[in-house]
């Protein structure tokens, strides 16, 4: 069901002790009565600390990546079963850093999505264009093919476990944010494409987060757009105070 989500993508930040401190502080400072789903996505090594500490709270934990195979000779990789065994039921897939630095393609990501869903996991799937795509007015097209090639093979029922995150690559970690209007344009476009591929109900039930230099100061305006259902936060999710302020704007 569509709802507001604020998720923190920690990337390669925080060791075990720092994770423990963060979750303790987050529990203490969590706003009351906000109808926002809060998720943190620490590195693999800290997932168990997070799930154990957050077990009796309503703060969720996601992984930042996952391998598509069930298991086997894939040195350095982590499977869906391993994530589930430490209490992680949500995984971020298709982040632009995975696409850019680890050469993850739409086709590979389709495989990862299938594996995650087979394990009844929820996927936060990232899409987004590069600066050149936007300059060449190809941004809608690029995002369309990311959706089509990685997600549109799924049956309608699978969409209960899909959350989307629109993250323009030029806005990630750069301090440059899409304007609320640019975000709204893309989110509305994505929803329309889901409605065309499936139906209006699936489109209306899908949460679409915005990501890319979201901060306490700009989150309220971005989140207020009708097709923006919260955010996927990088840098500003690393400090409890900033993260809580963003949650408060959700
Ligand atoms: P940022 O990262 O908020 O630091 O721009 C967002 C993301 O990569 O998910």
Separation in Å, CA 42 to CA 34, 206, 217 = 23, 24, 24
Write down the catalytic residue from 37, 104, 129, 167. Answer: 167
Q: Is pLDDT at 208 greater than 90 in this prediction?
A: yes
- Let me know: does 8 contact 243? Beta carbons within 8 Å: yes
Q: Cα separation of 128 and 143, whole Å?
A: 6
Question: How confident is the model at residue 92, as a pLDDT?
Answer: 99
Buried b (16+ CB within 10 A) or exposed e, 63-87: bbbbbbeeeeeeeeebbbebbbebe
* pLDDT tens figures, 133-166: 999 999 999 999 999 999 999 999 999 999 999 9
Residue 224 has pLDDT above 90, yes or no: yes
Average pLDDT over residues 33-48: 96
Quick one: pLDDT at residue 176?
Answer: 83
The minimum-distance atom of ligand 1 relative to the CA of 173 is 5
Question: Among this protein's residues, is 95 annotated catalytic?
Answer: yes
| C-beta separation of 41 from 83 below 8 A | no
Q: What is the pLDDT of residues 67-121, one digit of tens each?
A: 999 999 999 999 999 999 999 999 999 999 999 999 999 999 999 999 999 999 9
The residue nearest atom 7 of ligand 1, judged by CA position, is: 234
The 3-state secondary structure of 154-174, one letter per residue: CCHHHHHHEEEEECCHHHCCC
Pocket-testing residue among 62, 176, 213, 216, ligand 1, by greatest number of atoms within 8 A of Cβ: 213
**Contact 78 CB / ligand 1 (< 6 Å):** no
Question: Do residues 177 and 212 lie in contact, with contact meaning Cβ atoms separated by under 8 Å?
Answer: yes
The preferred substitution site among 124, 131, 166, 233 for testing ligand 1, maximizing ligand atoms within 8 Å of CB, is: 233
Q: Dump pLDDT digits (tens) for 176-204.
A: 889 999 999 999 999 999 999 999 999 99
Catalytic residue selected from 67, 95, 139, 187: 95
Kindly state if the Cβ of 172 falls inside 6 Å of ligand 1.
yes
113-145 burial, b at 16+ Cβ within 10 Å, e below that, comes to: bbbbbebebbbbbbbbbbeebbeeeebeebbbe
pLDDT at 56 over 90: yes
Average pLDDT, the chain: 97
């Amino acid at each position: 069901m569509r709802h507001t989500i604020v998720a923190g993508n920690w990337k390669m930040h925080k060791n075990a002790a720092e994770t423990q401190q963060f979750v303790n502080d987050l529990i203490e400072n969590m706003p009351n009565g906000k109808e926002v789903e809060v998720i943190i996505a620490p590195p693999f090594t800290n997932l168990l600390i997070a799930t154990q500490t957050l077990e009796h709270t309503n703060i969720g934990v996601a992984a930042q990546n996952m391998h598509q195979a069930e298991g086997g000779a894939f040195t350095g990789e982590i499977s869906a079963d391993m994530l589930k065994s430490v209490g992680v039921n949500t995984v971020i897939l298709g982040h632009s850093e995975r696409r850019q630095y680890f050469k993850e393609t739409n086709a590979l990501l389709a495989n990862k999505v299938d594996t995650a869903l087979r394990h009844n996991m929820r996927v936060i799937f990232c899409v987004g264009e590069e600066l050149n795509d936007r300059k060449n007015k190809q941004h809608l097209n690029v995002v369309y093919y990311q959706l089509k090639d990685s997600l549109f093979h799924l049956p309608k029922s699978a969409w209960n476990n899909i959350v989307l995150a629109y993250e323009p690559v030029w806005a990630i970690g750069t301090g440059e944010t899409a304007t609320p209007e640019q975000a709204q344009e893309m989110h509305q476009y994505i929803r329309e494409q889901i409605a065309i591929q499936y139906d209006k109900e699936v489109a209306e039930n899908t949460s679409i987060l915005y990501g890319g230099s979201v901060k306490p100061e700009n989150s309220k305006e971005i989140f207020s757009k009708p097709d923006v259902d919260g955010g996927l936060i990088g840098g500003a999710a690393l400090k409890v105070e900033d993260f809580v302020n963003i949650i408060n704007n959700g």
